[in-house]
Chains A and B, each alone.
Chain A
Amino acid sequence: MTVNIIVCVKQVIDPEAPPSSFKVDEASKKVVPPAGVPPVISPFDENAVEAALRIKDAQGGKITVLSMGVNLLREVVKKPLSMGADELVLLEDEAFVGGDSWANALGLAMAIKKIGQYDLILCGRQAADWDDGQVGSGIAEMLGLPSVTLARKIDVGDGKAVVERVTADGYEVIEVSLPALITVSNELGEARYPTIKGIMAAKKIEPAVWKPADIGLEPAQIGAAGRKISLERLYQPVHEGKCELIEGESPEEAGVNLALKLREQKLL
């Protein structure tokens, strides 16, 4: 069977930027984007794109990428296209900003309804900004679809998907009827690099840009106005720790001195 897949991706501040470059503005309860570090697709969402591409490689199909926000950099949100996805839909409007998982899932679910044709919806297991991991399950609930979270492998066939789901001590194999929503974890494997051909092809693809009204929503239902959970405070934890560096004439001696120090401290 050829498979119609929708993948939801989020543009986030690069989570691998050095922790020392990370700053918040407590007054506005916002993160200050680090200067000179471009945003990225949230890494688990890239794993979800990879999962979609593997299914497409195996049996053919169409991959539509869906992203929501403002100031979506085209070179960022087009990356999945340059990896091999086919279409891009952007929910781009100030009204979509500042939502919680509820408001965000609602926007995405309504857009998916409008896209209409799908066998599979894929999301990353959690976005690297709020680390919530709710939007995938939320979309499934809003659309009345079965959901499987934390996939490390997905096989599709016969109107169902067979999913390996990561657990604390290994994984479980789950069969789910289609259409379904699946969230993807990094254990699936790294996302492929865009190819030159892919980058050229992506350049030619014009994203569809939708506003709240296009998906039947009022601004009051989405973004900050649509929140169920209010953000009271955002701050950086203080590091009061001070590290005592153990030295030696040579690295080996430093190792020996470390052992002696830990012994003295009754840590060994």
Chain B
Amino acid sequence: MTEYRGVMVHAEVAEGKLAAIATELLGCGRKLADDLGEELSAVIVGSGVSGSAQEAFAFGADKVYVVNDALLQDYRTDTHVAVMEKAVRQAMPSILLLGQTSIGRDLAPRLAFRLETAATMDCIELAIDSSSKRLLCTKPVYGGNARAAFISEVEPQIATVRAKAMTPLEPDSSRKGEVVAIEAGLDPSAVRTKVTEKVKQEVEGISLEAANVVIGGGRGIGGADGFKQLEELAGMLKGAVGASRPPCDNGWVPDVVQIGLTGKIVAPDLYLAVALSGSSQHMAGCSGCKNIVAINKDPEANIFREARFGVVGDWKKVLPAFTEKVRELLAE
């Protein structure tokens, strides 16, 4: 029997560069591999992605498997599961980490089941259990109301990791490693899906995930007009506007600005939460926020359990005065 050894990271590439989540996974994978005294590898899957191997070394990988094939241009379940299965069977990692991204959410479960196991999804903490030496995976459950720690009894131990939950290493471009090319060997006729169109819902200004200031609006904003006031404030603070789910469901703002369990993960220095109650599912996207400030008319709202500063009151009265004062202070 060949032994499963080492940690492998599925490293996504976006626009020719390692995605932020890939660098985070490598940072965490490096630590786990060191704790085990084993190797950290990355696997990069796509078309025209070979150039990203060096980046993976810089962020901590010892070895990089590259599966480069024109058929892997778009993410498709059938193609990516097939080549990842091949990579895992070749590398035999004892731990496999993927990002909790639109790709990882689809790829990890299907790949795990193909390997006759299940993954642990959306982890925020990973550690090697001191007694069993197994991967202890902690993830929020019940919409963030509770946390659960799991151990897989089967190899490879597969987990996806939430964005911004882990810290990348400082890249060191002098680090080198071994590149191993894996033949995709895909049969195009066995691929049962086709991507016919990709639609981007563009949002102007700074991206939510990168912003240092985020203004989040909730159901209590009441409509698209209210969000214009949040936009104005965000513009002044060089921030981005996000929302809880109801404003997205109601079409006041585009779906892509939803923050939370099934939306974006934000980690600004300042998160100003306006007229949102702070449901556990919303807060799931905010755990990296350094300072939460709330404006809500209900003193019992859960957001006040999460916030550092708050005002109890009607945002329609509080916010314009706040915005004017901010304008004044910034002009000083």
The residues of A with any CB-CB pair to B shorter than 8 Å are 13, 15-16, 18-20, 22, 24, 31, 100-102, 105, 125-126, 128-134, 136-138, 140-142, 146-150, 152, 162, 165-177, 180, 185-187, 190, 227-237, 239, 241, 243-247, 250-256, 258-263, 265, 267-268
- Give, as a whole number of angstroms, the nearest-CB distance from B305 to chain A: 5
Using an 8 Å CB-CB cutoff, how does the interface string of B98-121 with A read, 1 for contact, 0 for none? 000110011011101110011111
Choose, from B34-42, B141-149, B178-186, the stretch at the interface: B141-149
Q: Is the CB of B151 within 8 A of A246?
A: no
A255-B319 contact, Cβ under 8 Å, with A141-B110, A176-B192: yes
Q: Dominant SS at the A interface?
A: mixed
Q: Is the CB of B193 within 8 A of A20?
A: no
Query: B305 to chain A: which residues have CB within 8 Å?
Result: 19, 239, 241, 243
Query: A180 to chain B: which residues have CB within 8 Å?
Result: 192
A105-B113 contact, Cβ under 8 Å, with A170-B198, A186-B262, A246-B311: yes
Q: Dominant SS at the B interface?
A: mixed
Please, how many residues of chain B have a CB less than 8 angstroms from a CB on the other chain? 87
Q: Is the CB of B322 within 8 A of A255?
A: yes
Query: B325 to chain A: which residues have CB within 8 Å?
Result: 255-256, 259-260
- Give, as a whole number of angstroms, the nearest-CB distance from A34 to chain B: 10
Query: B69 to chain A: which residues have CB within 8 Å?
Result: none
- Give, as a whole number of angstroms, the nearest-CB distance from B78 to chain A: 7
- Give, as a whole number of angstroms, the nearest-CB distance from B36 to chain A: 19
Assembly CA distance A136 to B105 (angstroms): 11
Q: Which of A236, A245, A258 has the most CB of B within 10 A?
A: A258
Which of A131, A133, A235, A239 has a CB less than 8 Å from the CB of B306? A239
Q: Is the CB of B152 within 8 A of A228?
A: yes
- Give, as a whole number of angstroms, the nearest-CB distance from A187 to chain B: 5
Smallest CB-CB A-B distances: 5 pairs: A255-B321, A259-B325, A146-B192, A255-B322, A251-B317
Q: Is the CB of B196 within 8 A of A137?
A: no
Q: Is the CB of B199 within 8 A of A138?
A: no
Assembly CA distance A10 to B175 (angstroms): 49
Q: Is the CB of B146 within 8 A of A24?
A: yes
Q: Is the CB of B309 within 8 A of A174?
A: no
Assembly CA distance A244 to B307 (angstroms): 8
Q: Is the CB of B136 within 8 A of A232?
A: yes
A-B contacts besides A176-B193, A239-B306, A265-B291, 18 pairs, CB < 8 Å: A15-B142, A128-B142, A131-B121, A131-B143, A138-B118, A141-B110, A150-B102, A162-B196, A171-B198, A174-B194, A177-B193, A229-B117, A229-B118, A232-B151, A241-B306, A241-B307, A244-B310, A255-B323
Q: Is the CB of B198 within 8 A of A252?
A: no
Assembly CA distance A187 to B293 (angstroms): 28
Instruction: Write 20 A-B pairs (CB below 8 A) sorted by A numbering.
Output: A130-B141, A137-B110, A141-B113, A146-B192, A172-B198, A229-B151, A230-B150, A233-B147, A234-B147, A237-B140, A237-B147, A239-B306, A243-B307, A244-B310, A252-B321, A254-B313, A255-B325, A258-B295, A262-B270, A265-B291
Q: Is the CB of B309 within 8 A of A258?
A: yes
Q: Is the CB of B114 within 8 A of A141?
A: yes
Q: Is the CB of B195 within 8 A of A251?
A: no
B255 at the interface (CB under 8 A from A): yes
